[in-house]
Amino acid sequence: MAVYTPVTDEDLASFLTGYDIGSLTSFSGIAEGVENSNFLVRTTGGTYILTLYEKRVNPDELPFFINLMTHLASRGLSCPQPVAARDGAMLRELNGRPAAIVTFLEGVWRRRIHPACCHALGAAMAELHLAGLGFGMRRENNLSVSAWRPLLESCDMRSEPIYHGLYNGLKVEVGYLEDNWPVDLPTGVIHADLFPDNVFFLGDHVSGLIDFYFACTDTLVYDLAICLNAWCFETDGSFNVTKAQQLIAGYQTRRALSVEERHALPVLARGSALRFMLTRLYDWLNHPEGALVKPKDPMEYLQKLRFHQTVVHPSAYGL
């Protein structure tokens, strides 16, 4: 379970006195998520999500995330809306951690992905991008191309002969992406982590987007590249071009891609695969003994990277 900081009934009941959302009736930890401690909270006033932000989250960046969700919700995007305390603050502290309460969204995330889900996701992503255009704050993507070489070196693979081949291959890939990373494409707010467990559905319709704690200011179409990796590969590692086609088609029902954005997709998809491969690899090699959360397999994303390395034209993604 992704609960790193425990919370007692007494802790939470006292915390809730600072809000005008009723008194506590029940709460439970939420298993999904690996970055923060999350709880489903039921009060006499409704159902909410409580998040305690753990040490990997920079507290200075929390106002960006909180204000972004408020901005997007005010423009009609279905996403968690931060709840202000009685004193107007949306960020408070609980058990030594920054904490926030947000509204609860109905829906479930899809374990089995159908092409119709990808189409709906694409449309919802484009709506996010359009809603974010008027947001006045910026946050650089600290896990973009300039971070990948330091991240690779921090994995300390050179000290283990068994990893030398993998390290050398990844080093070459980092160099390629540094030399070929697209510039001058449309930018704005992106989610940067729209994996299936961050997208809620009711039927085949997206009911909400959650977990904005990797959101940043970056190339808009990079979000689409991330989802090509997260949504369009089958469990056997094969790429499903029908899902990719539907994802992109859904996106373009709300926002058309430029010719430059289309041609940048293969490199952006390579970069996305490398980014998640490296962060998973770092977590795998630095996993503390006895940790409650099992690290995700980095080799899944190495296989996806190798597919994108064979792509020479965006038609491979159904364009």
Q: Can you give the pLDDT of all 319 residues of the chain as single tens digits?
A: 456 788 999 999 999 999 999 999 999 998 766 678 899 999 999 999 999 998 778 899 999 999 999 999 999 999 999 999 999 999 999 999 999 999 999 999 999 999 999 999 999 999 999 999 999 999 999 999 999 999 999 998 877 777 788 999 999 999 999 999 999 999 999 999 999 999 999 998 999 999 999 999 999 999 999 999 999 999 999 999 999 999 999 999 999 999 999 999 999 999 999 999 999 999 888 765 555 567 788 999 999 999 999 999 999 999 8
pTM, 2 dp: 0.93
- Vertex 294: Cα angle to 292 and 298 (nearest 5): 155
> Sign of the CA dihedral 306, 293, 63, 227?
positive
CA separation for the pair 156, 265 (Å, rounded):
30
Q: What is the largest CA-CA distance in the chain?
A: 59
Tell me the domains of the chain and their CATH numbers.
9-103 (3.30.200.20), 115-317 (3.90.1200.10)
Contact between 223 and 256 (Cβ < 8 Å): no
Amino acid, single-letter form, for residue 30: I
Tokens of 154: 């921090």
Q: Phi first, then psi: what are they for 92, rounded to 5°?
A: -135, -165
